[in-house]
Structure formats: structure tokens, C-alpha cells
Amino acid sequence: MRTAASLLILMLWGSAAFAAASPAPTRGTLENGGVTLAYEIRGTAPGRPLVVVNGGPGFDHAYLVVGDAWDRLATSRRVVMYDQRGTGASSRIKEGQACGLAEQIADLEALRAHLGLETMDLLGHSWGGYLVMAYAARHPEHVAHLVIADSAAPKIQDTLFEFKNFYPEKSREEDGLAFAVELQDPKAIAADIALYMTMLFHSPARRDAYLAAFKPTDAYQPSVNRAVWSDLQRFDLNPELPKFRFPTLVITGRYDFNVAPAVAYAIHRAIPGSELAVFEDSGHLPFYEEPEAFVARLQAFLGAPGR
């Protein structure tokens, strides 16, 4: 019988072996609105790529690529990721420089134009799900397929966070850090993020493997989080969703306690003709916890890469 430790080793070895066999991503930069945005492209297949928008706000895309789901997808289509302004390899936000929803939409549009894409398949995860919904509302003519994965609610205040119900002891620890976090104490922020990451998974073995490979405090920019989160309070995307006319897939993990599956279900019901995919053995990161099923579902939805 496999122990949790042996399962963890097998998972890490399998992902590493697949990643080692994959070609290194192509990297580039572009300028928009006074900031430099860094991006990378996995795979070389012709046709329309899948542009993946990470969550946060305040994280770069590094948390997405701990597993091998995107490299698996990149065997048949290009997969594009970028670091949102102020994060990762993109330039830091200067004092007085805007970092709200309008700027985030404009950055994604600048990336599309820079890559010369008339249309793109677009996937957003977590806060990135909110961002791709907002982008699609402003630029529907450039969206071929839309994938909304474990997304925040269209009105950000309606997002259902379930940590207190399923992790009461860890939530209590977070409450104890809240004052210091608001005072922007780096140690408190690091402790808060570390606690947060432990609550995103369904499988303890996969959680441990993930956290052995990814150090969240190295990728988190709290100033970006505050700027974006504050700006989102004034928007409501609910009236925009019924206008969507492109194929849309809404994804959730059955055990997503960061954003309850009820949020995904409501988004699905609001978008005409959309599909709903529930990953039964996943928390907030189904692309990591169930990579084979996740890739198969995306490939079935997206079909062959378009031109």
C-alpha cells in the first residue's frame, strides 16, 4: 500500500519528468501604460493559442506552473501566460501609478495586440476569472472561447469564502494576524499567505507536494492586492454575463473552500449556453489536483486550435 510520502514523491517525480521533456517556454516583454509586462509562451503549435490569466490579485503566474497541466496542453496548442502589472517579472508599480480593473483589462488587450491575435481562447483562474469576464464584456470580438475557473463572483462582494466553515482553527489563526497584516507587517503577511495556501487543496498529499515546490511569499505583492481589490468594490459584472455569445466553460473544484462551487454554478446559469465542469477530487486548483481530467476537459471544449 502506498503511503502519503511515497505518493508525494511519485507526484513530484511525474511532474518533473514531464516538464523536463517539454521545451523551455519562449519569453518576451511588452510596454503598456508605463509598465513593462513579461509573458511566456509554452508550445509551438500553429493556430489560436490559449491565454491563461492567473489569480491573486498580487500573485504572478508562477503558482500555475507547479504541475504539468499546461505543458500537456502545450503539446497541441500554444499556451500564453503573463505576469500582471506589479508582479513577477513585470515592472513594479510606481507611486501614483494606476493598478485597477481598467488597467488590468488594458494590459490583457495590449498582450493580445502584441501577439497579433485577432481572437484568442481565454482562461482565467480565481481573480483571473473575474478579469477575463471583465475583458470579455469590453472586448467580446476578440474572445473565441472563454474558460472561467474557480472564479470570484461577478460582484466581488458576493464571493463565498468557506474557510471559516471548513478550517475554523486556521481561520482563527488568520484573524489573529489581521491587525498586523493591515499594518503591512511583512512577517504577518508571509504567515497569512502560508496559512491561506494550505486551505486550497482537497488532497493532503497533493497539498504537501505543491507546497514543497512553491513558496508563495516569493511571488506575492500585497500592494497590488490592495490596489486591485479596493478598485473591484465598485463594479458589478452580473448584467454583462447574459450578453456573452461565445462558447463558455465554467469550472470549479467540488471542495473549493476559497470560492464555493455555488459561485461557479451561478456564473454558469447567467451565461447562455455555457457548460459547467465540476472536478470531484479538487479544491481551488483543479489543474494541479486533477491534471489529466482537467486537460481532457479543456481539449474537448476548445477543440482543435483555430486559426
Q: Using CA atoms, how far apart are residues 91 and 275, in angstroms rounded to an integer?
A: 37
Give how many domains the chain has, as a whole number: 1
Q: At residue 6, does pLDDT exceed 80?
A: no
Looking at residue 215, its pLDDT comes to 84
Average pLDDT, the chain: 92
What is the C-alpha radius of gyration for the chain, rounded to an integer number of angstroms?
18
Question: In the Cβ-directed half-sphere of 76, how many Cα atoms lie within 13 Å?
Answer: 13
Answer yes or no: is pLDDT of 13 > 50.
Answer: no
CATH number at residue 27: 3.40.50.1820
Pseudo-torsion of CA 52, 14, 28, 132, nearest 10°?
10
Query: Would residue 174 count as lying in a domain?
Result: yes
Q: Is 207 helix (H, G, I), strand (E, B) or coil?
A: helix
Domain that holds residue 40: 4-302
Question: For position 305, what pLDDT does the model report?
Answer: 85
Q: Mean pLDDT, to the nearest integer, of 9-34?
A: 69
pLDDT at 5: 39
Q: Which residue has the higher pLDDT, 259 or 2?
A: 259
Q: Write the pLDDT tens digit of every residue in 125-180.
A: 999 999 999 999 999 999 999 999 999 999 999 999 999 999 999 999 999 999 99
**Residue 60 above 90 pLDDT?**
yes
- Counting residues of the chain whose pLDDT is more than 70, the rounded percentage is 93
Residue 267 lies in a domain: yes
Q: What are phi and psi of 283, to 5 degrees?
A: -100, -125
Average pLDDT over residues 233-257: 98
Q: How confident is the model at residue 216 (pLDDT cuts 50, 70, 90)?
A: confident
307 pLDDT band, cuts 50/70/90, is low
**Strand 50-53 to 26-32 pairing:** unpaired
**HEC readout, 283-296:** CCCHHHHCHHHHHH
DSSP 232: H
- CA dihedral angle for residue 152, residue 155, residue 257, residue 146, rounded to 10 degrees: -30
Distances (CA, A) of 268 to 50, 142, 144, 187, 247: 20, 21, 17, 39, 11
Write out pLDDT tens, residues 265-274. Answer: 999 999 999 9
Is the pLDDT confidence value at 123 over 50? yes
> Taking Cα atoms as reference points, which of 202, 176, 212 lies closest to residue 191?
176
Question: Would 75 be classed as within a structural domain?
Answer: yes
Residue 176: predicted pLDDT: 97
In a domain, 307, yes or no: no
Question: Which has the minimum average pLDDT: 14-23, 39-48, 76-85, 209-218?
Answer: 14-23
